[in-house]
A and B are shown apart, each in its own frame.
Chain A
Amino acid sequence: MVESIVSTGLAIGCIYALIGITYNVMFSASRVFSFTAGTLGMLGGVLGSLFIGRLGLPVAVGFLLALAGGVLLGIVTEIVAVRPVLKSLDQHLYVLSTLALALMVQQFTAIEWGTEARPFPRLFDIARGGFDQEFWLPMLACLTVIVGLELLYRHTLIGRAFLAIAEDTYAARALGLPERSLRMASYALAGAIGALAGFAGGEMLLAFFGNGPMLTFYGFVPVALGGMGNNRGAVVAGLLLGLFQQTANFLVGGIFASVAVFTVFIIVLLARPEGLAGAAVQRRV
């Protein structure tokens, strides 16, 4: 039983962490949290099920197409919902514009794909067993993304440019960095990560339009607790969240597990609004 809690908890925690990283990658590039983060996860699952399950494409092709869908939504988010409102960041219009876009994608999915949860195909044709692909796929995806991002940020020029933008947009622009292209690239990357989360967790979460708001919320918890823009914090907090949720699930049952997660989230945030690992920002008068 403990084994099942741990494997399920870690697997689902990895999905939350990946959505958290999706938030962070977008945030670093633009200082904007986007409601489309969870939608990307939902889309990854639905597109995977569509391409591989319904259209019968090979797994690799379906995988790449699902990621491409995420990239596309990431870029659309940047162009439609983020860029127009960046000028007036202090009015928080991005909350509404990204919410609108997320709802549009979600409704479109609900109508075209259907409102019931559909199965996600098994990616590898191996027998179902204890530590199944259902569990290790999300973990593998999470590990790949973390290592990949570390390599990108530390060892490539474009990765350093991302960091520069995240650190100080004005200074980066003054240095001649193409801020707009970098922001688009960040959103494309975030789109791919979000879709990967949904794709890797497809068997667990199914291809269901309602996963959007669910992931938007549970994926934000690691960001809030781990500190904005802090990927390592997001991974740790995401795994803890997954374990906590599954344990509570086992101990007190599904609904009250959700209530427990929500309560802990609110209490931690009220006690430390900047997150467990974040630093308070001085307000300017």
Chain B
Amino acid sequence: MTQVRPSRADALGATSTLGVALPFLALLVIGVTLPLFGGGYWGVIATRACVYWVLVSGLNLVVGFAGQIAIGWVALLTLGAYTTSVLAAGNVMPSLSPYLALAIAAVVGAIFGLIVGLPALRLRTFYFAITTLGFATIVTQVALAWQSVTGGGVGVAGPIFPKPFDSQWGFYYFCFGLAAICTWMTANIAASRFGRALTAIRDAEVAAEACGIAKPPLLALVFLFSGAVAAIAGGLFASLQSYITPDAFTLDLSVLFFIAILIGGRSSILGPLLGTILLTVLPEFAAPLVAWSTFLYAVLLLVIVLAMPGGIAELLDFKNRRPLESGRAIVPRPELLDRLLAAPADGGAGALTLEQVALAFGGVHAIDGLDLEIRSGQIHGLIGPNGSGKTTTLNVISGYYAQQSGAVRLNGAALPVLERHRRAHMRIARTFQTPRIVGSASVLQNVMIGGTIDGKCTFVESLLSLPRHRRDEVLLRDTAMLALSAVGLERLAPVRADRLQHSELRFTEIARALMLRPAFLLLDEPAAGLSAEEIGRLGALVVAIARAGTGVLLVEHHADLIFDICHHVTVLNLGKNLAAGTPADIRSHREVVNAYLGG
């Protein structure tokens, strides 16, 4: 087997920029020169593909990135089509210019996108899918019944855009231009902290919260954007059809949009783009099959779900099919931590304290009157038998459980109960017993997720790739590379995270936590599943992190590691402090030795 050593430039993602852009440029050239090759019916098909993509590009952020199963998105297409047509035709008020009508439709679409999307913040997957389905059913019914405005079953004429967009190819270029802009904007989002945060919400929601990502505002932005472009697509669709009736907006269309994304693959822009083109063009090659097209889409959906969940994007991901170097070792470089964690803002003399914290699940006292103090620059070990309340303690500190009595204080001020994402803003970072990683993203992107809250730019700035967005990205990328170098994984930066070994995932999580420049770092069994050599390196790394000023809470079963590196150790048993003191005290504590360490 040949060993592939990624060059340094490759690891930093410098060479891949052109590689990523190449397929898009090729599509751009094909799209621009398309009128030279022919005309007539194919022009209509190409325009239709552009219109669909305008919608799918926005829906892709909802479905492909955020993982929300919105199956009734055709409702927003309907809404946009009718809003544009009715305003341009002047059914209810003096007729408006088609451009203005389209802009108003975009606003209406954004509002309804938000309304349809909001349930996703509270409801489970299937519930959300059903509410979008219900919305789609209802919009069609309203269009059918509200005759004075929509023309009912008779329908309404679509808008006609003025010169130069009134000819077939003129209108094509108009739609193509919008499609290109949508591609560019969603690609910008995909490559921004917002895009990464969406995938984190999808694949590792708990970790996303720990990184300070608040789901509601982010999803709200995505639904606004997605609703707006869907409604614009609706306006274009109405113009392309030249006449619309409720029949034109069946659930079949929704299915087409949805499946285009799934065929394309999650967290990809190119995949769903190719998927949309494929699904628009394919039925034209097989005319007898047109009646069966939705049936075939459904079959395709089933096959994809069961057989190739990665979609086209995974097929095209050649880079990640190269074999990884075998026998690779994680060699942390703790000396880099000083640059990464430089100068904590508060001078670094704080404490995270638990006072008489208690929490019971039914009759089980998971923790029962626990006192604990983690001081800056020190490593506090928390050990105890299984079920003694170690992870529960950690979950109370990071806000997953609310203590029933007692207090958790940061530098004297009580931590807000249950507000998980605010922990990150207070520079409290954590890792998880089972690593929580976005498997389909690269290691570098996973680490960059840790720095999400340090980004300065807004969603709109990222959408348009304005200077502040680019500065953010450069800074996050550099910091993430530094964090990866510090934990010894910089060689794996461009690799898909789900290809890593377990021990590498553990160090990736630490790198992600370091992105917060944590004042306090909570490590949940970081040595589990590591080799003896790796545990040694982990120990040195944790010592260096503490030396840089961070207070560390180390929950562990490896007693040797605890006694080697901790300044202070608390032993839990059945939710109570069994003992607390220096490692030397604990090692000779009779009860601890009997109950836990064994002697």
Contact = CB atoms under 8 A, between A and B. Distances in A.
B232 interface: no
A96 B126 contact: no
A256 B252 CA distance: 24
B251 interface: yes
A100 B137 contact: no
Most chain B CB within 10 A, of A108, A254, A255, is at A255
Given A93-B305, A100-B301, A213-B133, A258 B138 contact: yes
Contact of A111 (B131, B206, B295, B305): B295
A123 interface: no
B133 A97 contact: no
Interface residues of B, number: 45
A285 B436 CA distance: 11
Nearest to A254: B145
Given A92-B69, A104-B299, A265 B134 contact: yes
Secondary structure class of chain B's binding surface, majority of residues: helix
Contacts of B301: 96, 99-100, 103
Interface string B23-65: 0000000000000000000000000000000000000000000
B306 A85 contact: yes
B137 A92 contact: no
Interface string A178-206: 00000000000000000000000000000
Interface stretch (A8-16, A51-59, A214-222): A214-222
B165 interface: no
A82 B122 CA distance: 25
Contacts, number: 106
Contacts of B138: 255, 258-259, 262
A273 B127 contact: yes
B126 A95 contact: yes
A152 interface: no
Contacts of A100: 298-299, 301-302, 305
A266 B119 contact: yes
Interface in A32-65: 33
B129 interface: yes
A108 B122 contact: no
A111 B133 CA distance: 22
Interface size, A (range): 35 or more
A107 interface: yes
Contact of A255 (B131, B142, B291): B142
Contacts of A97: 302, 305-306
Nearest to A94: B126
Contacts of A220: 130
A97 B126 CA distance: 12
A31 to B, nearest CB: 11
A259 B75 CA distance: 13
Contacts of A269: 119, 122-123, 127, 131
B125 to A, nearest CB: 4
Contact of A266 (B129, B131, B144, B291): B131
Nearest to B118: A270
Contacts of A270: 118-119, 122-123
Contacts of A148: none
Nearest to B395: A285
A103 B131 contact: no
B292 A111 contact: yes
B71 A99 contact: yes
A81 interface: yes
Given A97-B306, A216-B130, A255-B141, A103 B206 contact: no
Interface of A: 33, 80-81, 84-85, 92-93, 95-97, 99-101, 103-104, 107-108, 111, 213-214, 216-217, 220, 224, 253-255, 258-259, 262, 265-266, 269-270, 273, 282-283, 285
27 contacts: A33-B126, A85-B306, A92-B126, A93-B309, A95-B129, A96-B262, A99-B129, A103-B255, A103-B301, A104-B295, A104-B298, A107-B252, A107-B298, A111-B292, A111-B295, A216-B133, A217-B137, A220-B130, A253-B145, A255-B142, A258-B137, A258-B141, A258-B142, A262-B134, A266-B131, A269-B131, A273-B123
